[in-house]
Amino acid sequence: MATKGRIFAGCTVALATPFRDGEVDEPALRSWVEWQIEQGTPILSPVGTTGEAPTLSHGEHERVIAVVVETAAGRAKVVPGTGSNSTTEAIRLTKFAARAGADGALMVAPYYNRPSQEGLYRHFASVAEAVDLPIMLYNIPARTGRNVEPETVERLAAIETIVAIKEAAGSLDQVSDIIARTNLTVLSGDDSLTLPMLAVGAEGVVSVAANIVPRDVRGLIDDFNAGDAPAARERHARLFPLCRDLLGLAPNPVPLKAALALLGRGNGEIRLPLCPLDESETAKLTRALARYGLLEA
């Protein structure tokens, strides 16, 4: 039986937000969207963690959503991050995304204030009731301080417009429990776990690595869906060291933006409190890109 959010299955790129001299670089953002579409990326997710949403002003956040929707122009689905630790703010951002023409909203669990499971349920339910837009839940307890338990996800799955979940708790048991309890479309929130999660029933990934190698990330999913397990495992083995270094050297998106700069696809600019890689970290990242064949050794 088809899951609720099958329109969001496959590869979604968690888009980085380019900056120049402290401001959002709109021409570079438009170019980045065009490049992703040329690469065949079917779904774009701006203004999430990778898009440095925590350091964007409300106006910048809205503007990035509008620019991505306008540039994509229906050639790729757009599912922007609209979550907040304020339910009122999450509703406001999600309403904006709907008005801008987004295809859905990625809704991270409230961070810092660490609500109870009942509070989490009421938060997500309040947004879903206020805005007629498909919602993809986003569970990443390492950043939010609170796990959205499978029992809570099951309650939320009964709400018509909550259709998918980006699951980044790092637990295959939790993924399996959610799949057993609900008909939500489950997506990996961690590139290195994409293949294991597909094996237990997930249907795609919201990917950081797809900023760099979107065709390869999509190819892994395609190989798995075609029943070619050896090819999927081979792609996983090749992608794994790159994904590890993109996510493990420093907080996301610091290594990603450094990698994009090394590849000539950006200037690497980030905003405080994030800061650039040091020399040894940059050297390790350079070696990882070279091993993958993206740079000359």
Residues annotated as catalytic are 138, 166
Measure CA of the first residue to CA of the last residue in the chain; give whole Å: 47
Alpha helices in the chain (DSSP H): 26-38, 58-72, 87-100, 117-130, 141-144, 150-157, 172-181, 194-199, 214-225, 229-248, 254-262, 279-292
**Dist. CA 220–CA 217, nearest whole Å:** 5
